[in-house]
Structures are given as structure tokens and as C-alpha cells.
Amino acid sequence: MVIATICKLLLAVGVGFYLSRKGIFNSEINQKLSYFIINICLPLLIVVSMDSTEDIDKGEFARYIALGICFYLALPFFSKLINALTRVKKEERSIYEAFYLFSNNTFFGYPIAASLYGSGCIFHLIVFNLGFDLLYYTYGLRLFSRKDEAREKLSLKKIINPGVIASLAAIIFFFFDIRLPVGAADACSFLGDLASPLSMIVIGSNIGAYSLKDLFRGEKRLYFVSFVRLILLPAITCGVMTLFGYSGILRGIAVISMGTPVATMVSMGCIEHENHEKLGTAGVIVTTTLSFLTLPVLLAIPW
């Protein structure tokens, strides 16, 4: 099961990498595909995922949601501590903080979890990461702003996006025992199931657009970021989840969620605000590439 999952993911990434190097895929195509995945495929996958939650205890899930929110409340303090201990340059601290705060659940967590546990587990991933969007579109956007730039104000328009709406809808459906009609669920699944392969193809294409030699010879501190992002954080998450009595799929989903590479949204934020664009992109690419060494181990552990 694990080997089959890894092979599927690597094949999709390899296809994307090949298409990029051949010039068939480019940044414009990647951007359009990303929009399709984030705003169409994933929301549909999220909505239909709650149809596989009949046997889940609602009280247990409420506690799971609260624990996930606590993780995201604690992450900014953890990130600042790591930056202080490693003596990151003052002008780069906000970007490194974003590396530790935001994991790539959209393009990695969802497809990997779905491949390992089935599409029903997407609902688990959603509720554990409810704090992600709120943290990114409030505190996160302030991290990308330059000192000479006006701090971006909180915008409900950015927070209320298709993914958040679908997540809230799925949670409401779950707690009020609302189920989609069979035809509607099948239609959602038809497009939602495209999210996993397309996500990995886009990741491969993004990697293929850069010189890996230059990126890996650049900022050496990114290797430490990769260690924290891909090994230390999932290990801490495993310990905390075990301490609170979680095991099996609930613990596994949380660990996978915290063990994915830096979110592509970090690179996008740096580019949008013209603030350490190369560092932001390098952080995403380096941690993504190294994750193909750590994720097989993460997936092989029987959570």
C-alpha cells in the first residue's frame, strides 16, 4: 500500500518535471492549473469527504478541531524560538518564520492522505487544519510585507475562499448529519478526485522550472529548515497527539499534515510583495525535493 502510494506520487511528479523541462508546461500553465485545483477540485473533494464520516464520534472530533487550532496558535511562538536559537538575519526572520508556520497541505497533505487512507480522510485533515487559512491570511500576510510597505490589512474576502467555504460546509454537514444526494456526491467525486494527480504534476513542473544545483548550493540554512519542517515538527506532533490519547488515522493525519514541505503560498507571498523572492522560492523547492526522502519513511510508519 505504502509503496504503491509512493510510486503513484513519484510518477505524477516525474510527469510534471518532464513536461516542464520539455517546455510543454510553464509558469502560466502551472498558475492556471493551481487555480483549478485550489478553487474547484479541492473544494469538491472536501465537500464529498464528509460522506465517509458516519461512524465518527462528534465529541471526539470537536476535541480534534480544538487541538488542531492549538497547534496553529503555538506555531508562531515555536518559529520565533527557532529563529532566535539559529540567529537568523533580522531582515530574513519573517520569511524563515513562514517556512515553519505553513506546510503544503493543499498540494501534498491532501493527495498523500487520500492515497494512504482513502478520500474520507480528507475531512480529518480539514478539521485539523482549520487554523491554517486564518493564520495565513492574517498573521502570514504581514510576514511577507516589507518594512517600507504598508502592512496588509485583514480582508474577509481573502479569508472566505472556496476552500474555506467548502471546509465550513463539510463541518456543518457533519455535525447536523446532512448527506449529499448520491448523484451530487458522485459528481463532486468525479472532479474532486483530479486534485491528487494534478497537484503532484504541478509540483513536479514547478521543480523542473528551476536549477536544482543552484538552489541546493545556495542558502545552507534551508537544510536545517528541511529538518525542522520534515522531521522535527511531525515528531513533536506525534508525541503531542499520543499524549492526548490519539492513535491510528487521527494521529497519522496530524503527523502527515505537519510533515509536508513548505507551502507554495509562501513563495507566492514573497513574490507578490517583492520581499526575498529567491529565498522564498528556494525554501519551497528545497524542502519539497527533500520531502521525497522523508515522506516514504513517514508513510511507512504504522500510525
pLDDT in tens, 45-57: 888 877 666 666 7
- Digit-coded pLDDT (tens) for 207-249: 888 887 777 777 789 999 999 999 999 999 999 999 999 888 8
Kindly list the distances between the CA atom of residue 296 and the CA atoms of 28, 62, 288, 290, in Å, as whole numbers in the listed order: 31, 30, 13, 11
Q: Give 153's pLDDT tier (boundaries 50, 70, 90).
A: low
Topology of domain 2-300 in CATH is Na+/H+ antiporter like fold (1.20.1530)
Integer Cα distance of 98 and 76 in angstroms = 9
Q: Give 125's pLDDT tier (boundaries 50, 70, 90).
A: confident
Q: What pLDDT is stored for residue 238 in this prediction?
A: 93
Q: Given its phi and psi angles, is residue 248 left (phi above 0), alpha (psi -120 to 50 degrees) or beta?
A: left
**pTM for the whole thing?**
0.81
Question: What residue spans define the domains of the chain?
Answer: 2-300
Query: 287 CB contacts (<8 Å, ≥6 apart)?
Result: 99, 222, 225, 226, 229, 230, 261, 262
C-alpha cell at 230: 520534515
Residue 194 pLDDT > 70: yes
